[in-house]
Chain A
């Protein structure tokens, strides 16, 4: 036991000296940013996590399903500033939480200011690279960053403000709320609700029961044959529905102050400059219901 303490001290002293040397070396250039980075790696195994919660700010988040039972997390926090000491001191204000509560696991990054400390002036960024079982439910919140979700098949909850979001091969059910930014989705099937505000959405090969509530923004939907129902409620948005064969679905369209372009074959109940009501009924299994206020609607 006597031998271990001095060894510990020795390691600690070397580490401390290294930190002091690293943080005080004056390397400074106007055109270069000093990037201070700290990273954490975790493997979360038994008991299996039911829901992974991520509450992030200014983060790039990658959630990709794999065939292993555990969740692997690599979280990288970085701080960029021309002055190295500032970058390091701001990085120390950039904190994270990674903790379990029963069957839920929580990841979070945030800024923590001690008494008398100034707000960070560096460019702060978090990066989450996560591999998880496809059946793990996820609840993701992010602002000013990017989100990639791939291969998941359980419950999905997403809130993205000013984010560039990409969804690939997603099944199950979920609620996705976006404010500004973009969302692109491919191969989405199941029961999903989208609520978008000033967001450009593009959903390809989409099937199942889809609900869309769009305010402003461009919304492009390319449904596949597997579509059961599509309900769109829009205000001042530009909606485009592009199907390989649009006649595969029944339609009920309602528009107030909306510019509409519908294919030949639709029957009009009402067609005035301000209000339009049209339908297409061939007793198909799948139904498309669209209600618009202002904006444009195009079906092809």
Chain B
């Protein structure tokens, strides 16, 4: 490998700014190198002994050009190679591969339409626009407030459940909420 612009390269290298990396970066690199898949992968790598001819060739080349300038060039090449390899090792951690599997849709875990209780509650509210004696009572107002809190919670839950739910826990919570809403609605109806 013969470098034609050796002089220029050396000059350019000495003119380069020197930066000290932050400690944070070393910790980050250390953490990334400690990643389990990487550790396991390095253990599984096969080992190869280089052929004797290679050593002979290296020795020959070494004796031909053992000037200091060549050494600097090798150092630069090593740094470049190491940083390239480092970058290559870091990349997979940032974009893990995507695996595909299948799961059956369970219709029992899907949230249905708006509950009938909400429609009845709205009817009660319309009724309250004309009838004020009962609806102005503090206990009735309190129940209305409780119902609205539960309705909001139920809406948040339904949004989280979404279209393709697979979590029985969320459905269980939703049915408990709907039950509570129905209880409150019954209490309100008794007051009227």
Q: Is chain B a partner of chain A in the same complex?
A: yes
Residue ranges of A at the interface with B (Cβ–Cβ < 8 Å) = 1, 4, 8, 19, 22-23, 30-47, 58, 70, 72, 80-82, 84, 87-88, 91, 99-101, 121-123, 125, 143-144, 146, 162, 164, 180-181, 198
Residue of A nearest to B160 (CB): A144
Contact with A along B91-108 (1 / 0, CB 8 A): 001001111111111000
5 interchain pairs, CB-CB under 8 A: A37-B99, A39-B99, A44-B34, A45-B30, A198-B153
* B164 CB contact (under 8 Å) in A38, A81, A91, A99: A81
Complex CA gap A101/B99 in Å reads 31
Q: A33-B166, A34-B102, A123-B163 are in contact. Are A162 and B157 (CB under 8 A)?
A: yes
Chain A residue nearest to B85 in the complex (CB): A4
* Contact across chains for A42 and B164 when beta carbons are under 8 A apart: no
Closest B-chain residue to A75, C-beta based? Answer: B96
Chain B, 149-192, CB within 8 A of any chain A CB: 149-150, 153, 156-157, 160, 162-167, 169-170, 173, 177
B27 at the interface (CB under 8 A from A): yes
**Which B residues are in CB contact (< 8 Å) with A70?**
34
Given A37-B101, A123-B163, A123-B164, A164-B169 contact (CB < 8 Å) = yes
Cβ A44 vs Cβ B98 within 8 A: no
Query: What 19 additional pairs, Cβ within 8 angstroms, besides A40-B96, A101-B24, A123-B164?
Result: A1-B81, A19-B98, A32-B103, A33-B104, A33-B164, A34-B100, A38-B97, A38-B98, A39-B99, A41-B36, A44-B34, A70-B34, A82-B105, A84-B100, A121-B162, A123-B162, A123-B163, A146-B169, A162-B156
Mark B residues whose CB is within 8 Å of A.
24, 27-28, 30-31, 34-37, 39, 77, 81, 84, 88, 93, 96-105, 149-150, 153, 156-157, 160, 162-167, 169-170, 173, 177
Q: Give, as a whole number of angstroms, the nearest-CB distance from A67 to chain B.
A: 18
Contacts of A81 in B (CB 8 A): 164
User: Across the two chains, which residue of chain B brings its CB closest to A72?
Assistant: B36
Residues of B within 8 Å of A122, CB to CB, are 164
The 4 closest A-B pairs by CB, nearest first: A144-B160, A123-B164, A38-B96, A41-B36
Q: Would you call A43 and B35 a contact (CB within 8 A)?
A: yes
Expressed in whole angstroms, the Cα–Cα distance for A35 and B102 within the complex equals: 6
